[in-house]
């Protein structure tokens, strides 16, 4: 069921988006506003049958986490942020994240940024 103004539809816990470049399954938190999503796992299927994954995180969310870690002591007191399969974007929201993914495909950078879940 497609929500008015939204680019995709819910499929169980995943929010699926179809573009001419790929099909993406975003896994936001239950009840999360899709245009406020700032940290989400996504699985992307390309037309060639390959499957890719990443965690998309906004710059603002990274900053928030690092500030929290400065207090908790994690990651050397918030001195670094590291994630092996992460893509940092400027703007929150599924529609902004879709545009970033489309740009990666169109610029032939997709396989340099996302990872294959099977290794």
Q: What is the pLDDT of residues 21-32, one digit of tens each?
A: 999 999 999 899
Tell me the per-residue pLDDT of 64-82, one tens digit each, with 9 for 90 and over.
999 999 999 999 999 999 9
Tell me the per-residue pLDDT of 5-58, one tens digit each, with 9 for 90 and over.
568 999 999 999 999 999 999 999 989 999 999 999 999 999 999 999 999 999
pLDDT for res 7: 80
Distance from C-alpha of 119 to C-alpha of 39, rounded to nearest angstrom: 22
Within a domain: residue 67? Answer: no
Within a domain: residue 105? Answer: yes
- 33: domain range? 8-57+85-113
Residue 75 contacts residue 69 (beta carbons within 8 Å)? yes
Instruction: Provide the number of structural domains found in the chain.
Output: 1
Within a domain: residue 12? Answer: yes
Within a domain: residue 62? Answer: no
Residue 82, φ and ψ in degrees, nearest 5: -140, 135
């Amino acid at each position: 069921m497609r929500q008015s103004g939204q680019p995709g539809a819910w499929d169980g816990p995943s929010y699926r988006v179809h573009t001419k470049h790929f099909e993406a399954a975003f896994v936001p938190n239950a009840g999360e506003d899709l245009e406020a999503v700032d940290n989400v796992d996504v699985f992307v299927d390309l037309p060639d049958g390959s499957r890719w994954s990443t965690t998309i995180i906004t710059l603002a969310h990274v900053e928030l986490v690092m500030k929290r870690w400065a207090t908790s002591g994690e990651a050397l007191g918030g001195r670094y942020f590291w994630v092996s399969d992460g893509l940092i974007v400027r703007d929150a929201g599924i529609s902004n994240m879709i545009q970033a993914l489309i740009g990666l495909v169109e610029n032939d950078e997709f396989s340099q940024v996302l990872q294959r879940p099977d290794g």
